[in-house]
Amino acid sequence: MNVLDHSVRLARIDVTRMARKHTDWRSGSSSIIGLVMYVLLVLVGTLGGGYLGYRLGTSLAESGPLFGIGTFSTPIAGGILALFWLIITVIFAVRAVGQRGTLAQPEGILTVVPTREALAGVYVAELTYVVLWVLGPAFGLGAGLALGSGVPWPVLTVPVAILAAGLTAVTVGYPIGLSVRHVASRFPFVAQHKGVILVMVFLGYFAALSTGTVDQLMVALFEPMQVSPMAWYADLLFLGTPGVEGSLAKAGGAGAFTLVFTVAGTIAGTRVAGIHWFSDPALAGAEPKPVATEAASPGIERRIESVLGPRTAALVTLSWRRAVRAPLKLLYAFFPVLMMGGFLADIVQSGEIPAYLPFVAVVVAAWAAGVIFTLNPLGDQGAALTSALLSRVDGRTFVHAHLLAGLAIAIPIGTVLTAVLAGLSPIESETALALVLATPVVMVLSAAFSIGVGMTFPRFEAINVTRSMKTVLPSRWAFVLFSAYLFVTAAAAGVVYESSVRDLAAGLVSWVLPFGLSVSADTLYFLSAVLLVGAVILPVVSYRHAIARFDGYTMA
């Protein structure tokens, strides 16, 4: 059996295993939802690519303005395509840093086939995933471009150019990612502080999004990428298309560039894989060292104990220690902030705080208070859950401890954040004061509702966070129900407080309702007020349920 046969067989095994993993109906609804989403995304991409290609081909054939904006430029198209190539390369590098950086059964595979053949199998598998995602949209774009321009060549050149770019992205990105993985897993210092480093990387990425650094980087990279060999794929993609001043030499150079980078990437990847796959990972806990927080924690626990009692103090400090040792569990608290990255970038660049931001800060503070320690209190116990259930800790003590552990941190930070934003924003002083006073109350209600949901739908098994790191996160049902509660409460509060929001919401609801039904702003105001009353009562019910749930909990 030759090298190609070994590589194709390894790739086929990898792809088959991945397909079975994501089409196993017995694994729950997530597999079905994932498969449906994949089919929908590929279908939308194919149809959208066909429409875009047809519009583009028609404009090129008629030598008219492109989508009513301006004339087509091959160098600009090359720069855009080269930037996309760079992004895809980073994605494959990140995949190599994660789970794709190791073989499924390395002990068996590496004793049977050489390293270069095993690596080639990984490359073929990664290219197969590229094909599964982009071949349909590429054919759609090519077919649309052919119909619009009146020539058949795009049906061939578009998929070839896109798949060639995908191949070089794999062969360049994978060795880079594998090198980063080697540093992260083979050097003791990095392995011991992997969680902290990951959180710092996340915060740095968010800071880059918030300050517009990512956008500035893309703009700065556009011209260099425009003259790079990666931009030649645009000449190959539009080869033979009327109205495009492409270069046949650059189109041929794209093919040569693909061959050279594939060979170079295979050689470099084989070298890196030979070092990484045959070395032992550093053990993060092999040499435990005393940490300052561990030495100080007894003093902190004693101070809390004098106020709350020994059992509550022990549970509170234990929750804090777990958060320090596994900071990935706290990333849920940053999800709303991450989704606001685009808004924050505009705020940083303009230097002005919009009037809506203090209100958003209250919602974000409520989110953080509800997810850090109360959305999965049973699952966070891990192996210590049995001891907690058999101890003298009752449900009230357990629930109070987890509420206090989160609120003691979240309330000061959330209140100060809201106060600062309210003071800098153009809202009235009375409104700003009301927001600051309401923030702790909203956070308490959020945490009280969260702990009841978390106790009802616990998750005990660890899940992959970065494909190579696992941690116990809240269950899907707990996450969805808590998010729905927070969203509905925030929407109802907005309708009750602001008349403009009320009118907009009434119009939106009337547009969505079938059979010509509509709802007035006054009716929506009354319904929202009722919802707000329920939003205040639900946390009380949830809190009492959490206490009863712990007292009556039994392990199967």
Q: What angle do CA 90, 92, 97 make, to 5 degrees?
A: 95
Mean pLDDT of 473-488: 87
pLDDT digits (tens, 9 = 90+) for 322-362: 877 776 666 666 666 665 666 666 676 677 788 888 888 89
pLDDT digits (tens, 9 = 90+) for 107-144: 788 888 889 999 999 999 999 999 999 999 999 999 99
User: What residues contact residue 87 under an 8 Å CB cut-off, 6+ apart?
Assistant: none
Count of residues making up the chain: 556
Is residue 476 pLDDT above 90, yes or no? no
pLDDT digits (tens, 9 = 90+) for 455-464: 998 888 766 6
> Out of 140-149, 223-232, 296-305, which region has the weakest mean confidence (pLDDT)?
296-305
> Out of 149-158, 453-462, 478-487, which region has the weakest mean confidence (pLDDT)?
453-462
**Given pLDDT bands bounded at 50, 70 and 90, which one contains residue 29?**
low
Mean pLDDT of 251-260: 93
Mean pLDDT of 74-78: 88
User: What residues contact residue 274 under an 8 Å CB cut-off, 6+ apart?
Assistant: 115
**Residue 184: other Cβ atoms inside 10 A:** 19
Is residue 292 pLDDT above 80, yes or no? no
Distances 281 to 20, 191, 551 between C-alpha atoms, Å? 29, 9, 43
Beta bridge partners, 503, equal none
Using an 8 Å Cβ cutoff, are 226 and 82 in contact?
yes
Mean pLDDT of 312-316: 83
Using an 8 Å Cβ cutoff, are 150 and 61 in contact?
yes
- Burial of residue 474 (number of CB atoms within 10 Å: 0-12, 13-18, 19+): buried
Strands (E), 17-112: none
> Which residue ranges make up each domain of the chain?
3-276, 301-551
Beta bridge partners, 70, equal 66
User: What residues contact residue 317 under an 8 Å CB cut-off, 6+ apart?
Assistant: 297, 300, 301, 304
Structure tokens at 466: 């970065």
For 523-544, the DSSP string reads HHHHHHHHHHHHHHHHHHHHHH
Rounded CA separation 14/103 (Å): 9
At 69 the pLDDT is 62
**Given pLDDT bands bounded at 50, 70 and 90, which one contains residue 524?**
confident
At 342 the pLDDT is 60
Using an 8 Å Cβ cutoff, are 358 and 425 in contact?
yes
Rounded CA separation 319/334 (Å): 19
Q: In terms of Cα–Cα distance, which of 470, 466, 456, 449 is closest to 371?
A: 449
Highest mean pLDDT among 157-171, 189-203, 417-431: 157-171
At 27 the pLDDT is 56
At 242 the pLDDT is 87
Backbone angles phi, psi at 305, to 5 degrees: -60, -35
Rounded CA separation 115/111 (Å): 9
> Out of 386-395, 397-406, 416-425, which region has the weakest mean confidence (pLDDT)?
386-395
Whether the CA torsion 303, 292, 384, 476 is positive or negative: it is positive
Mean pLDDT of 443-462: 90
Q: What angle do CA 179, 95, 344 make, to 5 degrees?
A: 105
Using an 8 Å Cβ cutoff, are 78 and 223 in contact?
no
Cα 191 off chain centre by: 23
Whether the CA torsion 275, 276, 278, 282 is positive or negative: it is positive
Rounded CA separation 144/46 (Å): 10
Structure tokens at 397: 């003590």
**Of 504 and 545, the one with more pLDDT:** 545
What percent of the chain lies above the pLDDT cut of 90?
34
What percent of the chain lies above the pLDDT cut of 70?
86
**End-to-end Cα distance, the chain:** 51
**Of 59 and 288, the one with more pLDDT:** 59
Q: At what angle do helices 154-186 and 74-97 cross, to 10 degrees?
A: 40
pLDDT digits (tens, 9 = 90+) for 212-255: 677 788 889 999 999 899 999 999 999 988 888 878 999 999 99
Strands (E), 178-247: none
